[in-house]
Structure 1
């Protein structure tokens, strides 16, 4: 991997990730942009202890632009975008409309490909590996910044999820706090250790691998399985067999195997419902916080809000109101369906 660091017209950082050195990344951003002025505010809910970010400036962010005005495509034919280069492999830049900024953290956009109508599942294994390397590099750099508590890499795909830019991309959030879901993981892992003397996530993986009816894919270094108490109709967790806290600690063998398994998994998701449109999903990397996360295990959670070809799973009364999920598909049936769609 080769990285080139540059700046956009308003001073935001832009990083090109290339598979080989020697690419010309000297194109400048000629847009007359003002410096980003964002003042997100962190407020703690006294009833739950959860941190909530108030980011009112995001009301004016780019919303469903036409394809010929996509800000994530390369700059071509006189049209300037967030990527000054006429082509790129993987590009990462500071979000122009960040939810987190300054002491509250940082938000970055990860462009997986210059192809507007592609998706992560369309990438080659080599390009998927380059994205993994970019995630890893950003995790290492952001984790080392003062005030950063946790780094979260994720992808939202599909209008049904709420995506406002159709170009294939993900995001990276550097939080100054521990996220509520990670806090639950920490509490559960601590209780499990006190009760059994073992690590919770190692036991979850071992149990899933033993209960083969919930395994979707398995390699030498990774296993993808539907969790025992899945919240979403089709939800898969992808774990390395060796427990590590974050992406920076993966071995070369684990990195080499990941792209093929992950691309296979995404392509199975796209075949689930027999639709011409790709399946909407969220792909979320769970990484341990900077300190105090020794019991946590790196893993990726992939799930879709679609439960049938013409029905969505909404987070309505019980889910949104009480955080009590009701699943319409048994985990065993979901795993069986994902194995069948090869």
Structure 2
């Protein structure tokens, strides 16, 4: 992998990832851009003990531009975009409208009782462009390009984890208008959070309680139990296993684990890295076949769940060694032409109601395997 770092006209970092030397990586961004100004802050919810990002500047972000005005396409024929080169393999750049940006700062209280805490919305948000082809999707990539994306995710995880104040790195992709995507070009994002996310906090508490009760690792025991049961296993490869979880929240939801437990992408071994592209591309292609050939591409969210980083003093995070890297892939489409909306029970109380039995979802995902 060849990595080339440069700067955009407003000072944001742009990084090209290539499998070989490619021309144009020294292309200059000639757009007359002002320096990015953010107003991000995080506020603490004392009832739920979680942080919320408040980002008024994101109201002005780009929203469903026509294809010929896509900011993620290469700069060609006199049209200037976020990527100055005329072509690229994988490109990563700082988001122009980040939810989190800048160095960490102390939390301050607005009230005498210390209930209303706020802090700078520190961290970093990046955009990952998987291909220069505007009309493609991740599932259209070949295995070499998917491997390059994995290398980029891994490199960004390592670099962002080392930033002051960053506590967790989340690499993810939102695909489809139904999900809320505002740019049609195939891309994902990376968030470097200044706190451990609520979902990960809950996982770590469950892992600690299970270890205290049984002496075992909850992630390992779940994977072993799903493999032993077999009904919900979708794909079982030499170094990876994918299954629909026993209590899936979403109509079609798959969790992908490496067989050897590791805390994050940087710890994957060479064998798992080599096998990942074929496994992941097969899962994405099956998702696009769930509802039949006449249905539009399946909207989905895919995200890597990684262990929290260590605190700034360099000591290991207490639950890091027990965490298991895994990818969660799910769609909000529950059947042909119908979406799963988060209504009263889900949005109001956090209690999901799933219309598709996980065993039926797994069976369907096995039926649409590539021949």
User: TM tier, shorter chain?
Assistant: over 0.9
RMSD of aligned C-alpha atoms? 0.7
Contact 2:24 2:86 survives alignment (8 Å): no
What SS does the aligned partner of 1:184 have? helix
Q: What residue ranges of structure 2 are gaps of 5+ in the alignment?
A: 105-121, 310-316
How do 1:142-181 and structure 2 match up within 5 A?
142-181=160-199
User: Post-superposition shift, 1:20?
Assistant: 1.4
Contact 1:149 1:175 survives alignment (8 Å): yes
Match of 2:31 in 1: 31
What SS does the aligned partner of 2:321 have? coil
Asked whether 1:118 is paired with 2:136, we answer yes
Q: Matches of 1:113 and 1:54 in 2, distance apart?
A: 31
- The match for 2:213 among 195, 216, 223 is 195
Asked whether 1:99 is paired with 2:99, we answer yes
Q: Matches of 1:279 and 1:80 in 2, distance apart?
A: 31
Asked whether 1:283 is paired with 2:295, we answer no
User: Post-superposition shift, 1:22?
Assistant: 4.8
Q: Matches of 1:239 and 1:11 in 2, distance apart?
A: 37
Match of 2:241 in 1: 223
What SS does the aligned partner of 1:301 have? strand
Contact 1:39 1:101 survives alignment (8 Å): no
User: Post-superposition shift, 1:335?
Assistant: 0.2
Contact 1:18 1:130 survives alignment (8 Å): yes
CA deviation map 1:292-318 (0-9, x unaligned):
322210000000000001110011100
Asked whether 1:78 is paired with 2:111, we answer no
Asked whether 1:137 is paired with 2:141, we answer no
TM-score by length of structure 1 reads: 0.99
Match of 2:348 in 1: 321
What SS does the aligned partner of 1:254 have? helix
What SS does the aligned partner of 1:271 have? coil
Match of 1:305 in 2: 332
Asked whether 1:12 is paired with 2:39, we answer no
User: Post-superposition shift, 1:160?
Assistant: 0.4
Q: Matches of 1:263 and 1:196 in 2, distance apart?
A: 36
Match of 1:54 in 2: 54
User: Post-superposition shift, 1:24?
Assistant: 3.4
CA deviation map 1:79-102 (0-9, x unaligned):
000000000000000000000011
TM-score by length of structure 2 reads: 0.91
User: Post-superposition shift, 1:341?
Assistant: 0.9
Contact 2:5 2:16 survives alignment (8 Å): yes
> Relative to structure 2, which stretch is displaced further, 268-277 or 83-92?
268-277
Q: Matches of 1:153 and 1:247 in 2, distance apart?
A: 10
What SS does the aligned partner of 2:363 have? helix
Count of paired positions: 342
Asked whether 1:335 is paired with 2:354, we answer no
Q: What residue ranges of structure 1 are gaps of 5+ in the alignment?
A: none
CA deviation map 1:219-248 (0-9, x unaligned):
100000000000000000000000000000
User: Post-superposition shift, 1:21?
Assistant: 2.9
Q: Matches of 1:197 and 1:256 in 2, distance apart?
A: 32
Q: Matches of 1:197 and 1:219 in 2, distance apart?
A: 28
Larger Rg: 2
What SS does the aligned partner of 1:44 have? strand
Q: 1:334 to 1:99 in 2, by over 3 A?
A: same
User: Post-superposition shift, 1:276?
Assistant: 4.3
Contact 2:253 2:331 survives alignment (8 Å): yes
Q: Which runs of 4+ in 1 moved over 4 A?
A: none
